[in-house]
């Protein structure tokens, strides 16, 4: 049976499709982040059904019951949610199947994104094909998605939260040749494992769980770790060049890529002392090493907030004096209320009026601060004073003023810290920003034992603290180098 999810997998990679049907056990479980996105998609889908109060929900847990109840309810003239259509071994559930007075139906696909994407069109084209093979006349296809300009004030206004856009013409175009593709996918499923080259398809439009299976043969500093390699990396790989070491000298590279290639060949660290010293000379003590953690709920949880807006719930601050002494101050919100007012109040109290504010990737912190000033105008003047003091440590590494082959083409602090200092994030219960966001949501909006909540809060504090301690340690190492 070919489901719409398997059809989309086949479009992305025939090998992924083959494994999904013939050797599913080899596909690792979804990451916590990926599972969360799927759960959010389910929640958004249920929320969208409330736009059609006369609709009937078809239970989807029991496959046969779903099919039987769909047939039973098709003639009732009401919208159906999760209607199941099975025909010629092709199966699709329709988020919202809306009947028209002339006996035709409209397909409304619900997505938690904020715009129409190519993969959404392909998704609906398969649904429409299944419906038409089953004898249903489809009049219109639409995508129901999140309006990220909606600002919550009071109870959620579903008509403002969602945008419904007609995609009928795009879907009809995507249907061209669909039966040929379906026939080809069935042939693939009945054949030995297909040989498919790795490349862009491994991460677009979705990250593939088979990466370890398919990429395991590559050397450590492989061609896809080339800094901003993109199509160049794919072209080199297709020419059977797997290692950065093996890039021919006549291949034109950017300056940063040339540095990466040279470091990989010599196993030496690249240091531009003048540029590093120039950067360090711009720092004014005391230094405020700052890092935020945020979460971005699809459906706004607080008044005066938007879908997917970054809501800061935590910060870590290492205050470093010129003699090298440091003080650590942190904030981690408690309770279900909007954390932004307390976050702003605490941050304003602890950041003095003089001294550089050091961050890693200033676009993030500056973006969050600007959003806070917009939503809480009383802090606009203070934010305007803070922004010019922010200095971005990432610039040194993004510009390759320092590069260690251990970074594997990355300027991420997770790669730079161990390359420079030997310290890393290994063994931490929370070791990245997405896990921090999900953990905060869990302890805030899901009932769990108090001991578990305390445990997660400790892990959140340790993770965020290391992010700013990393800045302190990196700058100290840079000073030693020059």
Which CATH number belongs to the domain containing residue 129 in this structure? Answer: 3.90.320.10
Q: Which two tokens stand for residue 482?
A: 């020059």
Q: Which two tokens stand for residue 125?
A: 């084209």
Phi–psi pair at 25, nearest 5 degrees: -65, -25
209 located within any domain: no
Extract the runs of DSSP E, i.e. beta strands, from 333-381: 357-359
Distance separating alpha carbons of residues 198 and 442, to the nearest angstrom:
36
108 located within any domain: yes
Classify 286 as helix, strand or coil: coil
Question: What residues make up the domain containing 88?
Answer: 2-189
State the maximum Cα–Cα separation within the chain, in Å, rounded to a whole number: 80
Residue that terminates a domain, selected from 207, 242, 265: 265
Which DSSP string corresponds to 354-423?
SS-EEESSHHHHHHHHHHHHHH-GGGHHHHHHHGGGEEETHHHHHTTSEE-GGGTT---HHHHHHHHHS-
Q: Which two tokens stand for residue 195?
A: 């040989």
Same-domain pairing of 238 and 339? no
How many structural domains comprise the chain? 3
Same-domain pairing of 430 and 408? yes
Distance separating alpha carbons of residues 369 and 395, to the nearest angstrom:
20
Would you state the pLDDT for residue 326?
96
Same-domain pairing of 97 and 8? yes
Same-domain pairing of 424 and 387? yes
476 located within any domain: yes
Same-domain pairing of 291 and 259? no
Same-domain pairing of 303 and 417? yes
196 located within any domain: no
Same-domain pairing of 233 and 134? no
Same-domain pairing of 258 and 278? no
202 located within any domain: no
Output the pTM of the full model.
Answer: 0.92
Which DSSP string corresponds to 179-246?
HHHHHHHHHHHTSSPP----SGGGTSSS--TTHHHHHTTS-TTBGGGSTT-HHHHHHHHHTT--BGGG
Same-domain pairing of 141 and 220? no
Same-domain pairing of 250 and 277? no
Which CATH number belongs to the domain containing residue 354 in this structure? Answer: 3.30.420.10
Same-domain pairing of 96 and 109? yes
The pLDDT tens digits along the chain (482 residues) read: 999 999 999 999 999 999 999 999 888 888 888 889 999 999 999 999 999 999 999 998 899 999 999 999 998 999 999 999 999 999 999 999 999 999 999 999 999 999 999 999 999 999 999 999 999 999 999 999 999 999 999 999 999 999 999 999 999 999 999 999 999 999 999 999 999 888 888 888 988 888 888 888 888 889 999 999 999 999 999 999 999 999 999 999 999 999 999 999 999 999 999 999 999 999 999 999 999 999 999 999 999 999 999 999 999 999 999 999 999 999 999 999 999 999 999 999 999 999 999 999 999 999 999 999 999 999 999 999 999 999 999 999 999 999 999 999 999 999 999 999 999 999 899 999 999 999 999 999 999 999 999 999 999 999 999 999 999 999 999 999 98
**Within the chain, how many helices (H) and strands (E) appear?**
19, 14
219 located within any domain: yes
Same-domain pairing of 350 and 239? no
Distance separating alpha carbons of residues 188 and 10, to the nearest angstrom:
9
Which residues lie closer than 8 Å to 352 by C-beta, 6 or more apart?
286, 288
């Amino acid at each position: 049976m070919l489901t719409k999810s398997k059809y989309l997998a086949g479009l992305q990679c025939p090998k992924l499709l083959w494994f999904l049907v013939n050797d599913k056990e080899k596909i690792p479980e979804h990451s916590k982040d990926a599972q969360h996105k799927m759960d959010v998609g389910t929640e958004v889908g249920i929320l969208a059904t409330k736009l059609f109060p006369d609709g009937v929900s078809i239970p989807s847990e029991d496959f046969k019951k779903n099919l039987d109840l769909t047939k039973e309810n098709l003639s009732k003239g009401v919208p159906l949610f999760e209607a199941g259509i099975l025909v010629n071994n092709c199966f699709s559930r329709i988020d919202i199947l809306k009947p028209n007075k002339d006996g035709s139906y409209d397909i409304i696909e619900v997505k938690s994104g904020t715009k129409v994407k190519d993969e959404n069109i392909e998704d609906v084209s398969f649904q429409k094909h299944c419906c038409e093979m089953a004898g249903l006349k489809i009049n219109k296809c639409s995508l129901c998605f999140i309006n990220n300009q909606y600002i919550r004030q009071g109870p959620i206004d579903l008509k403002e939260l969602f945008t419904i856009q007609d995609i009928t013409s795009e879907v009809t175009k995507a249907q061209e040749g669909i039966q040929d593709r379906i026939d080809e996918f069935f042939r693939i499923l009945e054949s030995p494992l297909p040989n498919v080259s790795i490349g862009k398809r491994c991460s677009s439009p979705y990250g593939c769980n088979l990466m370890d299976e398919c990429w395991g043969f590559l050397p450590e500093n492989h061609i896809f770790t080339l800094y901003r390699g993109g199509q160049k990396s794919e072209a080199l790989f297709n020419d059977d060049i797997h290692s950065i070491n093996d890039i021919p000298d006549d291949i034109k590279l950017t300056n940063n890529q040339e540095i990466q290639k040279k470091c990989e060949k010599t196993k030496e660290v690249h240091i531009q002392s003048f540029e590093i010293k120039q950067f360090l000379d711009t720092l004014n003590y005391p230094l405020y090493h700052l890092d935020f953690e945020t979460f971005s709920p699809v459906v706004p949880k607080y008044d005066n907030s938007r879908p997917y807006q970054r809501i800061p719930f935590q910060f870590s601050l290492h205050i470093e004096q010129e003699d090298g002494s440091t003080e650590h101050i942190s904030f981690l919100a408690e309770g279900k209320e909007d954390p932004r007012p307390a976050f702003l109040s605490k941050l304003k109290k602890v950041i003095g009026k003089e001294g550089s504010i050091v961050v890693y990737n200033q676009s993030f912190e500056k973006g969050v601060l600007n959003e806070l000033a917009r939503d809480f105008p009383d802090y606009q003047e203070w934010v305007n004073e803070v922004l010019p003091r922010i200095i971005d440590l990432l610039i040194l590494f993004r510009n390759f003023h320092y590069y260690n082959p251990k970074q594997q083409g990355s300027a991420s602090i997770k790669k730079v810290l161990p390359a420079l200092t030997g310290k890393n994030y290994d063994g931490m219960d929370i070791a990245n920003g997405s896990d921090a966001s999900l953990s905060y949501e869990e302890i805030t909006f899901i009932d769990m034992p108090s001991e578990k909540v305390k445990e997660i809060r400790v892990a959140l504090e340790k993770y965020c603290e290391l992010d700013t301690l990393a800045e302190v340690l990196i700058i100290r190492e840079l000073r030693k180098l020059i």
